[in-house]
Amino acid sequence: MFVTFKTYAFDVPLATAARQAGLSPKALDRLRHRILGAGIPWPKDQPRAQFALALRALAEACRVSQRIAEEVVEYVAQERRA
């Protein structure tokens, strides 16, 4: 979640954000597959979509409404533009 947020909110490349968080590219890929599943396509050059996917997975794991997850994505988008 943090890595995708950092990528989206601060225009940091995903690999850089992962490395700064102590994750190797292989570890990040394993984590992504574990959280999202192997069949979910990963939008490589779309930080907002990556953040939204990670947030939806977190919302599902915490049994939080997907609507609330979308509101968070929109809030971050508005703050990013400000």
Tell me the per-residue pLDDT of 22-57, one tens digit each, with 9 for 90 and over.
999 999 989 888 888 777 788 888 998 888 888 888
pLDDT of residue 82: 67
pLDDT of residue 27: 94
Q: What percent of the chain has pLDDT over 90?
A: 34
What band does 63 get if pLDDT is binned at 50, 70 and 90?
A: very high
Domain boundaries, the chain: 2-81
Q: Please report, for residues 7, 16, 29, the alpha-carbon distance to residue 33 in angstroms, rounded to integers and kept in the order given.
A: 18, 19, 6
The whole-angstrom separation of Cα 18 and Cα 1 is 11
Handedness of CA 69, 30, 3, 47 (dihedral sign): negative
pLDDT of residue 66: 85
